[in-house]
A and B are shown apart, each in its own frame.
Chain A
Amino acid sequence: MRRPIIVFAAALLLVAPAYAAKPKPQSHAPADSGCIACHGGETGATARSYALSKHGVIARLDPGSGRAPDCMACHTPAGEHGKTGTRPPRSLASITEPAKLRGSLSAACGRCHAPRYAVELAGNGSRMLEIGRMKVREAARVVALARREMDPKALAVVEGRFKTMQDVHLRNLWLGIAHQSPDYQWWHGQAALDGDLIRIKGALSHDRRAKPAATLRP
């Protein structure tokens, strides 16, 4: 009589971890719509870059299945809340320091992805972002020249373009990396930054052409 009970209890203990590790339903977490309402809306880059990613697509097609992470799943990986209640302390809000993120990455990505995959992707993302920053820094030097040479009206166009470069296109690149949207990484990000760089240089060049030769600097 005791033997079957012991065997049964042992079997229960063996399978218990499997049940513990099953994907937890997201029922208590706020739905994405709550996050999106403040974070740029449905058409903003934050929501769009996620919606276009494979995570976003799977979450949309298979809602509630836990197959893909929603906002809360990545940004508060262990259900933790930020100390201030507004910003999770070790969340994936920034991917600029992959070494620091290693712990968060395993927590957020490890349910479905091999650790090496997540870390490689983060490393690549970091390198990709740095290239975007190089473009911005190259533009910054040209803008510095423009500030010395151009009159305020013409300069305003250049400043506007530079602001867009940083606040929109570099941000698109960062969001594309963080949310894994190839489109936001490339067309809305890197390729757009290329265009900004060309136009900032072009505006300075155009201005110089319009001026008398004496005002040109070597």
Chain B
Amino acid sequence: MRARYIIIPLIAALLAVPAGMAYVDWSKGGSGAGLYSREWQPDSMHGYWDPANFYRPVKTVTGTFKGEECVACHEQLTPGIVADWRSSRHGRPAAGKEPVYCPACHGNDHQALRLPTPEVCGACHSPQHQAFLDERRYGFPSHALAMERAVDTKHFVDKPKAEVTACLQCHSVASKCDSCHTRHRFSAAEARRAESCITCHSGPPHPDDETYFASAHGQKYLAEGAGWDWSKPLAKGNYPAPTCAYCHMAGGKHQVADKSIWQFGTRQVNPLTSENKVKRERWVAVCADCHDAAWSRERLAETDRERVRAWNKLYAAERILKDLRAAKLLYPAAGERPPYPADWLDRVWPKERIGFYEGQASAFYNVSVIERDYFEMWYFAGLSAYKGAAHGAPGFVAENHAAMDRGLAAIAAEAEALRTAARAGKQRPDPRSLWLRGEYTDHNREHN
């Protein structure tokens, strides 16, 4: 065995790893944010989600101010904020504690104020902030990684930035601490309630709000919850029915990804790996606050079975699409539709993306009808069925499995139509401009 066969690859690896890290660092140094930051310019509103840098000084107000002085002016200018602060524990602290005035979070130099980042909150709220940061090691769906996930996603990079500002509103849960306990009241009681999650946790790919409110837990919450004492910690015996935070942030732990098994339903998961079995027992422990543990285990296993049924249907649809792709029957094919600007590889080697592992989650526009049909079957019906099962809303499971069945039938029919057209030599009936040009399509190409 020649030494060079070891030494040369070793040197190559030793050079490649730091080179890769340097490349990633360089990628993040552009005008945007994240891995593709050199490929886009932010819309001016995006600065709001970089709290440390959003503030622009008002020329008319200079000097440094003490907290009481901030309050005196802002009581006139932004009375709602001061009223919120006065009703918060910052403004009306427990006995023996000092109020936390504006400069503690915003600074006191009116020409150089800042909006607080999680680090600022973490200076006092260390356990919560540390838990929040620690969650990163679990990967998706960590709240702490949400902003990176948004800005590194291909369709975020590719689409006009004014369009995808919508994404940042929810994914900014990573950059600011006021998503759940809103400013300036910062009430933990508010954050414990179900509605504090629904601004983001709603909609076709994650109807968490609707599935929860339809469940027995949610129905009880809707009927009686306004009267419960929300100042109590999220612990056994304190609440007759759980809300989102009770199960997902048990005990008030500022982590949601630590026991996440199903990855939002975006891909098939084996619930029986040793890691997932440990997580499953932690779920059962939460259910066991109120329910029999064995009964709870069986209810959670129903979700496992629903997922198998769902993925059987989704994989059947994927097979149809992949067969079409292999036979070059997808139309418009990659290369006949606008490439994703962020994806240089897509231009060099255009390829249709089918399924989670090929990145189809980012390919729901400028694609063929059949690919969009599968995207909706997977991302809307499939993910909704998952949430219905997980939250205990059988109606949603039935409705969305029926939708998946219809989706599969429609995909099969469209596949047949594409094959028939190909046999008749009519595979490409349109001028290229139909798919490649158009007001939005052209704008997107130039203005992503």
Interface residues of A (CB under 8 A from B): 17-18, 21-23, 52-54, 57-58, 60-62, 65-67, 110-114, 116-117, 120-121, 123-124, 127-128, 130-131, 134-135, 137-138, 141-142, 176, 180-183, 185-191, 194-195, 197-199, 201-202, 204-206, 208-211, 213, 216, 218
Residue of A nearest to B81 (CB): A112
Residues of A contacting B366 in the complex (Cβ-Cβ under 8 angstroms): 198
The yes or no answer to B140 lying at the interface (CB within 8 A) is: no
User: With A21-B75, A198-B365 known to touch, is A61 a contact of B440 (CB < 8 Å)?
Assistant: no
Over the window 37-80 of chain B, the binary record of Cβ atoms lying under 8 Å from chain A Cβ atoms (1 yes, 0 no) is 00000011100100000001000000000000000100111111
User: CB distance B434 to A188 under 8 Å?
Assistant: no
The yes or no answer to B216 lying at the interface (CB within 8 A) is: no
The yes or no answer to B438 lying at the interface (CB within 8 A) is: yes
**B402-448 contacts to A (CB < 8 Å):** 417, 421, 426-427, 429-431, 434-435, 438-441, 443
Q: How far apart are the CA atoms of A67 and B185 in the complex, in Å? A: 9
The yes or no answer to B343 lying at the interface (CB within 8 A) is: no
- Find the residue from A57, A142, A188 having the highest chain B CB count within 10 A: A57
Q: How far apart are the CA atoms of A60 and B199 in the complex, in Å? A: 12
User: CB distance A23 to B80 under 8 Å?
Assistant: yes
| Interface SS of A by simple majority | helix
User: With A183-B202, A199-B369, A199-B372 known to touch, is A205 a contact of B165 (CB < 8 Å)?
Assistant: no
Q: Which of the candidate stretches B188-196, B258-266, B320-328 sits at the interface with the other chain?
A: B188-196
For the complex with contacts A182-B169, A197-B438, A216-B429, 19 further pairs of A-B residues with Cβ separation under 8 Å are A17-B75, A21-B75, A57-B195, A67-B84, A67-B185, A120-B48, A124-B162, A127-B162, A128-B165, A130-B162, A131-B440, A131-B443, A138-B441, A176-B166, A189-B166, A194-B364, A195-B376, A205-B429, A206-B417
The yes or no answer to B368 lying at the interface (CB within 8 A) is: yes
Residues of B contacting A124 in the complex (Cβ-Cβ under 8 angstroms): 43-45, 162, 165
User: With A67-B84, A190-B163 known to touch, is A21 a contact of B76 (CB < 8 Å)?
Assistant: yes
User: CB distance B426 to A209 under 8 Å?
Assistant: yes
Residues of B contacting A180 in the complex (Cβ-Cβ under 8 angstroms): 169
Per the CB 8 Å criterion, the residue count for chain B at the interface is: 61
Over the window 323-361 of chain B, the binary record of Cβ atoms lying under 8 Å from chain A Cβ atoms (1 yes, 0 no) is 000000001000000000000000000000000000000
Report which of A117, A138, A186, A194 forms a contact with B166, defined as CB distance below 8 A. A186
Q: How far apart are the CA atoms of A218 and B368 in the complex, in Å? A: 21
User: With A134-B439, A190-B163 known to touch, is A121 a contact of B76 (CB < 8 Å)?
Assistant: no
User: CB distance A18 to B75 under 8 Å?
Assistant: yes
Residues of B contacting A52 in the complex (Cβ-Cβ under 8 angstroms): 198-199, 202, 209
